[in-house]
Amino acid sequence: MAAPIAVHPPSPTGGRRVSADGTILGLAYDLRDVEEFLRRAGVDIDAAWVEDTSLIEWRGGGPETWE
């Protein structure tokens, strides 16, 4: 089963799309953006959780890949 939250591969113009259960939450340019999108979606998070959770599927590179 896929993780309910996906951080998609970096786009050619910069940033990574973030989606939850198929709904696009926004275009993130760093981990702070991912945290904010998840907070707005009602997910209780912190920076360490975003980088190391099985609920996020990092596609096209991990949390250190942004371009």
Average model confidence (pLDDT) across the chain: 88
Which tokens in the block code for residue 39?
């907070």
| Domains of the chain, residue spans | 1-19+42-67
Cα separation, 57 vs 54, whole angstroms: 7
Give the long-range contacts of residues 38-47, CB within 8 A, separation 24 or more.
Answer: 38/5, 43/5
Residue pair 56/5 in contact by the 8 Å Cβ criterion: yes
pLDDT band for position 50 (cuts 50, 70, 90): confident
Residue-level pLDDT at 47: 67
pTM score, whole prediction: 0.86
* Chain position carrying tokens 């926004």: 26
